[in-house]
Structure 1
């Protein structure tokens, strides 16, 4: 069926533009309705793979990583908050928020994909971190978030206490890096068309319509 769409959403749990991009994408799919049958699969990307267990203050981290001043960080947060509000998401991060390691969250997302609850878990992880100030590297919080979307809490605890799905997540991360993904979100349609960044709804609508028409007509512009 030419209007079916496989979407790989490469992202990190602690990436605010990934939230904006995801909500932009899902609202675009809602607008398109029957024009497209989409299947979204979340692919792992770690912005801070070497981050320690205690995390780091967000302002300090952004100054070190990007050379931003606290004022620039503040402006960036305000811009993200405004873009979040446009798509109905409440960002509540401030200068005292922290950045954490997200590898365990990606392991749980991999498992949730096998259970058919990946989208639900991704959304819950975004809300826990950006709206509620949670810690996505804390096993107890992760297990509670998993349970909140209908996953088995004991199974989640078991996975977190072991190295289960470590190899799979690392392999997926390497795959996307090898395909040239260097920033997130990167949204890949049918394995060949990529849209990067937290794009607005209309950008996704336009891109999806173009991909569908090319698939139907067999032409590539």
Structure 2
């Protein structure tokens, strides 16, 4: 549907510990496929829990504390997310020990992977590591392991996390999103000007893509 020779530029502001970010991404990719749209995706950092300690917090406790949710509401939310994930072809494995983490190091790793054209591959691997396999994303070695699993250099991944060489650029990118008024994720920006918030569903994304193609 994208008749221009130029691929649709899609900027996605998201966090790896945001379940609706992976669901929304998968819905969007399906819509892009259905509408035969040529596209380029660029990921941008957002921290849902910038003040969280590095070792993170139990997700049930965190949901109760941050959103005031009861145990029943937490479970209902998990069931809804798990079902939406299954519809989108993604497996969520929530359990009593599922934790939420500070993701600043994760975003630095993604920035590094972008230099090799692998940010999207690493993003998907990190979503699976966190939500499907309950791996500890606060652990630098685990992060380097995930990077190595998609073919990136393990030692280099560890080195960039140890010396925090991309800390400044990640902070600046986060600040830029905030200055654009982005306060929740996923936030999807088409061609640098059309901002869509939240996981919209395949049908809505397809409709949006058709409208963009007609412009």
Q: Does 1:17 align with 2:31?
A: no
Q: Does 1:84 align with 2:77?
A: no
| Deviation for aligned residue 1:195 | 1.3
| Deviation for aligned residue 1:140 | 0.5
Report the Cα distance in structure 2 between the residues aligned to 1:212 and 1:2, rounded to whole angstroms.
11
Which residue is 1:134 aligned to? 135
Alignment of 1:91-110 (within 5 A): 91-110=92-111
Report the Cα distance in structure 1 between the residues aligned to 2:78 and 2:21, rounded to whole angstroms.
14
Alignment of 1:50-69 (within 5 A): 50-69=51-70
| Aligned structure 1 segments of 4 or more residues deviating by more than 3 angstroms | none
Q: Does 1:123 align with 2:124?
A: yes
Report the Cα distance in structure 2 between the residues aligned to 1:123 and 1:81, rounded to whole angstroms.
17
Q: Could you say what the CA RMSD is over the residues aligned between the two structures, in angstroms?
A: 1.0
| Deviation for aligned residue 1:135 | 1.4
Which residue is 1:4 aligned to? 7
The TM-score with structure 1 as length reference comes to 0.93
| Cα displacement string for residues 109-139 of structure 1 (whole angstroms, at most 9, x for unaligned residues) | 0011111001100000000000000111210
| Deviation for aligned residue 1:94 | 2.4
Which residue is 1:160 aligned to? 161
- How many residues end up aligned between the 2 structures? 212
| Cα displacement string for residues 87-119 of structure 1 (whole angstroms, at most 9, x for unaligned residues) | 110000123211111110100000111110011
Report the Cα distance in structure 2 between the residues aligned to 1:3 and 1:196, rounded to whole angstroms.
24
Report the Cα distance in structure 2 between the residues aligned to 1:201 and 1:134, rounded to whole angstroms.
29
Alignment of 1:168-179 (within 5 A): 168-179=169-180
Q: Does 1:180 align with 2:181?
A: yes
* Structure 1 alignment gaps of length 5 or more: 215-221
Report the Cα distance in structure 1 between the residues aligned to 2:7 and 2:126, rounded to whole angstroms.
27
Report the Cα distance in structure 1 between the residues aligned to 2:49 and 2:90, rounded to whole angstroms.
23
